[in-house]
Chains A and B, each alone.
Chain A
Amino acid sequence: MNSELFEVAGKNLRKQGVRTYLTLIGIVIGIAAIVALLSVGQGLNYAIEKQFESLGANTIFIIPGGQNGELELTDADISRMESVRGIESIVPIYSESAFMEFKGQKVQVSVSAADADKAGIFDDTGYFDIKEGRMLVKSDSSAILIGENIAENFFKTEIELKNKVLINGKSFRVVGILKSGSQTVGGGGPSTAGTVFMSQDAFEKIFASRSPGIIFAKTYSPNETVEAADKIKFDLEKKYGEKSVFVSSADALLEQVNAFLQLITIFLTGIAGISLIVGGVGITNAMIASVLERTKEIGLLKALGANKKEILSLFLIEAAFIGAIGGIIGIIIGYSLANLIAFVGESAGFALYASMTPEITLGALLFSMLVGMISGFYPALRAANLDPITALRYE
């Protein structure tokens, strides 16, 4: 192929000015939408993966309740889990809703509790990232940790360390404030920044009954995790019925969450792809107009010695250039958009990241060029098949 066709195609696009820019818009929008969605989707995957990784491959989640409605697990159930072979520790997390009172103002909050001695399971996870003060200890029967969001936004007056608050009428002292952006266990639900944490003893003081909302189990080694999870599930389902409880290892859960996220990302990207089809039709349209407008020029090039292949290549390269330029601009806008979404999400307390990977960048660029070439193929073929005499006399 005549390598100079690339230079000539570039010059031709520049000569067409406004039409080229207008044609680009369709591709830019399509690629920007696809890149933004893929970037946020992959960022979300990465964030979740990181959280699960920090929990470790030897962690098991046990969530009571399932198809048969809610399930209240007892202390006996928890003791039984502790005796399962391979289990190192069991940490039930209790959660209830309560009223919190500060300086005469009453607000409903979510209260969670865990055995402080076993809270080491959450070390390095970032779930309990202390902004001010200290972590709870087992003897803290009247001390609480509160999220930054509660401290700063729930009440007219900001709550500070050592302030006293009432929870369901009982007095507690704030000993620590958790950083905003800390996540709830498992990566879902509201941020810890909007939750009150207390010791298990304190929790028992204000709530008559308690049953764990989620239980974390840790095995001695990752090799024992699957077997231990199966055994716990078997025991609980034997007692409460099939599908009465959800038991999964961190790895298995991560796989499921990722598969679900991937499905959503593919679905949304597919929708964004529709705009790219519209962009492609725009290229076809502009190229047909260009072929009509340049009919005489095509005839002249043929008269001067250009063959069918060269004319076809010239128009295909022009279309591919439109795709590539649109792709590059779309990728830049897409990543900017993804970062904006991540920023807004993070400000609202959700752990969102914009992931920039060579796969997305290169894939989007190649895809946009391919869309350009497919869209430009028919007009290019039309140009290549023009009879030189008819083309030269075209008015």
Chain B
Amino acid sequence: MQKHGIIRLENVSKEYDLGEIKIHALSDINLSICNGDFISIMGPSGSGKTTLLDILSTLLRPSKGKVFIEENDTTEMTDEKLSLFRGKKIGTIFQNFNLQVKLTALENVMTPMWIHKVPKNKRIPLATKLLEQVGLGDRLNNKPNQLSGGQMQRVSIARSLAMNPGIIVADEPTGNLDSKSEKQVIDILMNLNKVQGKTIIMVTHEPELGKLAPKRILMRDGKIQEYFGFEKCPKWIKSNETIKESAKK
């Protein structure tokens, strides 16, 4: 697979205005991520790692700076355009899974499909395939309360893959899991990176887990303190097709 740049942060800062107090969650962050990277973001509590991940996933807009994804400036996009862009380009995995409790595993995986108008006849086969891929082919019709923590997180991973995004962001994906489930989830993520070439960005506070990623960022006080294993992306490709799709909407 030919490497190229996929995400670029330029002088990104995030401030929270709480009346008299201003909190600087992120200060002047610069970061380049290539396609197929597996990156872990580590750091102590309050260091800004989750804020950085939220900005990378475009769920949060920076106070200053630019966020380019596939060379599209997401900070200039309207909310509507950004929602569509995010839904198609970025898959999100949450620490607490965020599954819809009244829906089955299959229905949870199909949620992004109705939002993005995937033809109805393609949804069940696709969702089934994704659940089989994470080892839950026999749990299709189970609701979250009938699944273990590890299984719920695997449903969440399958859901993040529903629109076949190139980027997967995971916020403490093993934070609520036992060691056996933790291993299963990490294996799936590594497999997605190695076999399918997905770009994985994972926040974790566990150093051992973080070290499994070839590229690592250590954060402290809203700044990137150290970069491990980073190299320049050989080139940057703009996905014009995405812009056209978004504009059409």
Contacts and interface: CB of A to CB of B under 8 A. Distances in A.
> Is the A/B pair a real complex?
yes
B54 interface: yes
B60 A2 contact: no
Contact of B86 (A303, A308, A392): A303
B115 A309 contact: no
Interface in B92-119: 92, 94, 98, 100, 102, 111-112, 114-117
B66 interface: no
Contacts of A388: 59
A306 B100 contact: no
A308 B81 CA distance: 11
Interface in A282-303: 296-297, 299-303
B98 A307 contact: no
A7 B83 CA distance: 21
B223 interface: no
B115 A304 contact: yes
B88 interface: yes
Contacts of A306: 83, 87, 115
A2 B114 contact: yes
B115 A305 contact: yes
B79 interface: yes
B13 to A, nearest CB: 17
A203 to B, nearest CB: 80
A303 B165 CA distance: 13
B92 A310 contact: no
Interface string A1-19: 0101001100000010000
A296 B83 CA distance: 16
A299 B57 CA distance: 14
**Which one of A7, A15, A301, A308 has the greatest number of beta carbons of chain B within 10 Å?**
A301
| A interface: dominant SS | helix
Nearest to B87: A305
Contacts of A309: 80
B84 interface: yes
A278 interface: no
A307 B100 contact: no
A309 B249 CA distance: 12
A162 B54 CA distance: 100
A389 interface: yes
Contacts of A7: 114
A300 to B, nearest CB: 5
Nearest to A5: B114
A20 to B, nearest CB: 13
B83 A302 contact: yes
Contacts of A304: 87, 92, 111-112, 115, 159
Given A305-B83, A309-B80, A297 B100 contact: yes
Contacts of B98: 296, 299-300, 303, 392
B176 to A, nearest CB: 14
A9 to B, nearest CB: 12
B111 A303 contact: no
B79 A308 contact: yes
Given A305-B86, A392-B59, 10 more contacts: A297-B100, A305-B83, A306-B83, A306-B115, A307-B84, A308-B79, A310-B115, A388-B59, A389-B54, A392-B98
23 contacts: A2-B115, A4-B114, A296-B98, A297-B100, A299-B98, A300-B100, A301-B111, A301-B115, A302-B83, A303-B98, A304-B92, A305-B86, A305-B87, A305-B88, A305-B112, A305-B115, A305-B116, A306-B115, A307-B80, A310-B115, A389-B60, A392-B94, A392-B98
Interface of A: 2, 4, 7-8, 15, 296-297, 299-310, 388-389, 392
Interface of B: 54, 57, 59-60, 79-80, 83-84, 86-88, 92, 94, 98, 100, 102, 111-112, 114-117, 159, 163
